[in-house]
Structure 1
Amino acid sequence: MAVTLQQIAEAAGVSRGTVDRALNNRGRIRPEVEERIKRIAREMGYQPSRAGRALAMAKRKIRIGVILQYMETPFMQQVLKGVLEAKEEVESFGGTVKIYEIEGVEPEKVMAAMEELREKGFNGIALTPSEDQLLRARIDQYQEEYGIPIVTFNADLEDTKRLCFVGQDTFQAGRTAAGLMWEMTGGNGQVAIISGQVANPGLISRQKGFTTEIKESFPGIEIVDIRYSYDDEWVASKIVEEFLELYPELTGIYITGHGVKGVCQTLQKLGKDKTMHVIANDFLEENLKWLKEGTINFLIGQDAAVQGHSPVIILFQLLFDSKAPEKEYQYTDIVIRTKYNMG
């Protein structure tokens, strides 16, 4: 049975009207009393009615902005689906969610979108950041000066004032890839890394995790080169051709982001698709095809839909219920797939 305001009032030793003012932030109540009432309501499992929540939303004008970068990539299209699901949920209660889609790495466009959201009275922002000092400063400014909470997702800028991060623990994902490479190579040989955008914090972290674990735990493996495809399949294919020319003894390739199609097609064309050890990321249709064929040995996955959905809901809960996120780092699971457990 649903918990009523009267039951909360009796448990708190106050009137029903005081409970109503506390739970709906209507003022005329001491802060310590308001906090005690909210705590008791949470402990009792109180849930406002849908109609009541919609009415409160209309009064508060909760507006959340979502800014996505790297939108030309298939993975971010999957993240967008999660954002759209959260948008539908929030707007069913009378809130507003505005989405900005940016291709590539464009911190200036991110900051312009942030400013537009601020000027229009939006009171929470979720964004996928890139490595940029001005963007770091802007995130801090929005939190400290404007009181607008920022949630980062998919990639993180840890030493900022952002509220929390939702996404993969990319450093651990990189370490996981290093362990898998050790298993395949027997702990010896030359390997190379193909990354995507230079300024993508998530890819930087995967790369660091991989190189750190190799150096600390597997000294018999030599990382001979690191190149960037900028999420371009043609560039990725040319990198592979150059790797094989420069390093004829190369035994493994770790792909931290996109470029899988270019890498695998080139390995197949050069007859290296069954002998080269390849580890890539994300359970995308193209990647799963190469996993099934055996050109990719391992795929390391993350939950794209959660990365899109959770940041919006975290901001909604903060703005509507004053419920802070439970953890600063809300990591999605690191999942490993081979052609034998594709599902």
Structure 2
Amino acid sequence: MSSDKIDTGRTNRLPLMDDIAVRAGVSLATVDRVLNQRKGVRERTVSLVLRSALEVGYLSQEEYDLLVRPRPPNVVFLLPNGTNPYLRLLGEKVRKRADMRSRDSANIRCFFVDSFAPSALAAALRHHARWADAIACMALDHPAVREATAEIVARNKKVVAIVSDFAPAVRSAYVGLDNQQAGRTAAYLLGRFCRHQKGDVAVIAGSRIYRAHTDREMGFQSLVEEMYPELSIIGVREGHDDRDENYRHTLALIDHHPELVGIYNVGGSSDGIARALKERGRSEDLVFIGHGLSADTRRLLLDGTMDAVINSDPDLVLSAALAACGELSGDGSPPLAPLLKMEILLRENLPL
């Protein structure tokens, strides 16, 4: 803060930070931390220092009003690394929002981590919690991750689950789809597209350790059994949202299951599945449902390889996550984040 202030008339000199310290009964270092909005000072002390700065004339009313506002939160997004185009797109949008930051908006950072390694993810949560007031992440629902989350929340910081829920007993909020509903919707679409054709259907997941993928699989299976008994689910392959793994799984499915009529990809990297379908000449007759609108799934919808994409708008994911990270309700608890709207996208209703 500048000390170039108008003389109050009480002295022949401009008020200094020392005057604030004396009036507030705190150290000069504390005054410096408060005026520069650094962390580590109790709210009561912050209020006392700012009021003293106003009274001695060090701050104008306008400057006081700016500083008395709550400091914008430091927010870290932790996303799984790999070849999942939807998550890369979400990461790009997070970083773009960080670059557009204004004085009153959150300080945002985004990192890609190995989320298939629970110990590495738990270490990343603890590391970034040193700087962050809140962490938004798509994480594994694993004991090591739950333990790290509980430690962070106990320090009055927030951990917000995005896309896939985890640690529901301790995390601060969840932002994403109702994933069982998404799985049932995928099953309904696939069954309708198959027109009651008898045959096998396959499910490809990133990893069942993601709650979103497990919930989607459960929803899919329950509706197939309920409505389409002529379809047989031949098991779940885990491709870890990697296009090359998904490609190899799909080749094996086609080669070993000649009655295959449909594939549901509950995770990402649908381009790997599509490559195998095209190589085996099955891109036109096999029903393919997936998740996440990105450049690759848009192209696959347009050329007819994919029949439908279940999507949650990444801009809405980002905005809802930031709201959950930064807002408090009247009693000081995090707000209940609503489930996001599910979009069912076909070739004919793709957004521009």
How does the TM-score come out when normalised to structure 1?
0.76
Rg larger in structure:
2
Residue 37 of structure 1 is matched in structure 2 by: none
Checking the alignment, whether the CA contact within 8 Å between 1:236 and 1:263 is kept in structure 2 is yes
Query: Does residue 83 of structure 1 match 2:94?
Result: yes
- 3-state SS in 2 of match to 1:332: coil
For 1:178, which of 181, 187, 190 is the aligned residue? Answer: 187
Query: Does residue 96 of structure 1 match 2:141?
Result: no
Letter in 1 for 2:191: W
CA–CA distance in structure 1, aligned partners of residues 275 and 115 of structure 2: 23
Checking the alignment, whether the CA contact within 8 Å between 1:280 and 1:299 is kept in structure 2 is yes
Q: What aligned pairs does 1:13-162 form with structure 2 within 5 A after superposition?
A: 54-57=66-69, 60=71, 62-70=73-81, 72-84=83-95, 86-87=97-98, 92-93=103-104, 96-120=107-131, 122-143=132-153, 145-157=154-166, 159-162=168-171
For 1:164, which of 168, 173, 177 is the aligned residue? Answer: 173
Letter in 1 for 2:261: T
Query: Does residue 332 of structure 1 match 2:340?
Result: yes
The verdict on how the C-alpha distance between 1:50 and 1:62 changes in structure 2, with shifts beyond 3 A counting, is: farther
- 3-state SS in 2 of match to 1:308: helix
CA–CA distance in structure 2, aligned partners of residues 294 and 341 of structure 1: 13
1:274 CA drift (Å):
1.2
Residue 262 of structure 1 is matched in structure 2 by: 272
Q: What aligned pairs does 1:136-285 form with structure 2 within 5 A after superposition?
A: 136-143=146-153, 145-157=154-166, 159-187=168-196, 188-285=198-295
Letter in 2 for 1:237: Y
The verdict on how the C-alpha distance between 1:102 and 1:53 changes in structure 2, with shifts beyond 3 A counting, is: farther
Letter in 1 for 2:294: L
The verdict on how the C-alpha distance between 1:184 and 1:140 changes in structure 2, with shifts beyond 3 A counting, is: same
- 3-state SS in 1 of match to 2:209: coil
Checking the alignment, whether the CA contact within 8 Å between 1:69 and 1:106 is kept in structure 2 is no
Letter in 2 for 1:148: K
For 2:316, which of 299, 306, 317 is the aligned residue? Answer: 306
Structure 2: give runs of 5+ residues left out of the alignment.
1-42, 48-60
CA–CA distance in structure 2, aligned partners of residues 52 and 169 of structure 1: 44
How does the TM-score come out when normalised to structure 2?
0.74
CA–CA distance in structure 1, aligned partners of residues 134 and 112 of structure 2: 17
CA–CA distance in structure 2, aligned partners of residues 94 and 180 of structure 1: 41
Q: Size of the alignment, in residue pairs?
A: 296
- 3-state SS in 1 of match to 2:349: coil
Q: Deviations over 1:305-326 (max 9, x none)?
A: 222232223222229x876554
1:203 CA drift (Å):
1.8
Checking the alignment, whether the CA contact within 8 Å between 2:129 and 2:135 is kept in structure 1 is no
Checking the alignment, whether the CA contact within 8 Å between 1:54 and 1:93 is kept in structure 2 is no
The verdict on how the C-alpha distance between 1:308 and 1:71 changes in structure 2, with shifts beyond 3 A counting, is: farther
CA–CA distance in structure 1, aligned partners of residues 89 and 270 of structure 2: 17
Sequence identity, in percent? 20
Checking the alignment, whether the CA contact within 8 Å between 1:283 and 1:299 is kept in structure 2 is yes
Residue 4 of structure 1 is matched in structure 2 by: none
Structure 1: give runs of 5+ residues left out of the alignment.
1-24, 30-48
Q: Deviations over 1:150-170 (max 9, x none)?
A: 211111115321111111222
1:52 CA drift (Å):
6.6
Residue 341 of structure 1 is matched in structure 2 by: 349
Checking the alignment, whether the CA contact within 8 Å between 1:253 and 1:279 is kept in structure 2 is yes
Name the structure, 1 or 2, with higher relative contact order (CA <8 Å, separation 6+): 1
Residue 36 of structure 2 is matched in structure 1 by: none
CA–CA distance in structure 2, aligned partners of residues 110 and 155 of structure 1: 15
Checking the alignment, whether the CA contact within 8 Å between 2:312 and 2:341 is kept in structure 1 is yes
Q: Deviations over 1:169-217 (max 9, x none)?
A: 2211111000011101233421111112343222222112111221233
1:95 CA drift (Å):
5.1
The verdict on how the C-alpha distance between 1:67 and 1:237 changes in structure 2, with shifts beyond 3 A counting, is: closer
CA RMSD of aligned residues (A): 3.1
Q: Which moved more, 1:98-107 or 1:234-243?
A: 98-107
Residue 36 of structure 1 is matched in structure 2 by: none
Checking the alignment, whether the CA contact within 8 Å between 2:126 and 2:148 is kept in structure 1 is no
